[in-house]
Amino acid sequence: MSENHKGKSIAYKWVALFNVTLASLMGSINGSIILISLPAIFKGIKMNNGSGAFQYLLWLLMGFGLVTATLLLTIGRLADMYGRVKLFRLGFLIFAIGSTLLYLTPGTGNAGALELVLFRLIQAVGSAFTIANGSAIITDAFPVSERGKALGINMVAFMSGQFIGLLLGGVLATYNWRYVFLVNIPFAVLGTVWSYWKMKDISFRASRTSLDIVGNLLFVGGLTSLLIGVTYA
C-alpha cells in the first residue's frame, strides 16, 4: 500500500467514526428527549387530557422504538446487498426530514397529535437505517487493533445521549415545545451532508442474494404484535 493511499485510509476511519457517533448520539437523544417534555408538547398542540391523549402519548413513546426494532433485520439484509454507507446516508436524510416535519407540525388537538406520531415514525425509519449500519461501518473502517476503541466511543455517545436528551427536553420545553424537535435538525443536516460528501462504501456486497420478503414480514408482524400486546397489557 502506498503512503498516500495509507494516509487516506487513516483519515477515512475518523470520518466514519465521527458520522456514526453523531448518528448514535442523535438517535439516543431523540429517543429520550420527549419523555419529560410530553406535557409541554401536548399543551402546545392544545391536546386535552383523556383516553385519547393517552393513546397518542403511548405511540409517541413506543412507536419510535417499535419501528426501529422491527426494521433492523430487513435493513441489515438490504445493506449486505446494496452497501452499508448508501443506506446509512439515506437514514440521515430520512431522519432530517422527520425532524423538520415534527418542528413544523401544523395541526392542533387530535390532528396535531396524529401528525406528531406519524412524523416521529418517519424519524424512526431514519434512525433504523443508521443504527443497523453504524457498527458495521466502524468495523469496516478500522483495523482489528482499533475496533474495540472505536466501538467503545460509539457506545459511550449512545449512552450519553439518553441522559442528554432528558436534560435538553426539560430545558427546551420551558421555552417552546417545538425546540424539542428543532435541536435534532442541525445534527441531522450535518450528518446528511457530511456522509454524502466524505463517506464511501468499502464493505463487501452480497449482490447475488435476495431478500426474504415473507420471512421479514412475518418477523415484523410477530415482533410488532408482541410489543403492542405487552405494552397495552
Residue 83 clears pLDDT 90, i.e. is over it: no
* Residue 11 vs residue 195, higher pLDDT: 195
Regarding predicted confidence, which is higher, 178 or 59? 178
pTM (predicted TM-score): 0.84
Rounded mean pLDDT of 32-57?
A: 80
Q: Which of 177, 233, 208, 217 is nearest to 70 (CA)?
A: 217
Sign of CA dihedral 188, 189, 192, 195: negative
Can you give the pLDDT at residue 137? 92
- How confident is the model at residue 120, as a pLDDT? 92
pLDDT level of residue 115 (50, 70, 90 thresholds): very high
Which ranges of 45-183 does DSSP label H, i.e. alpha helix? Answer: 51-82, 84-103, 109-141, 144-173, 179-182
What is the pLDDT, as a whole number, of residue 9? 45
Assess whether pLDDT exceeds 50 at residue 230. Answer: yes
pLDDT score recorded for residue 207: 57
Task: Quick: pLDDT tens for 191-224.
Answer: 889 888 888 877 666 556 666 677 777 777 777 7
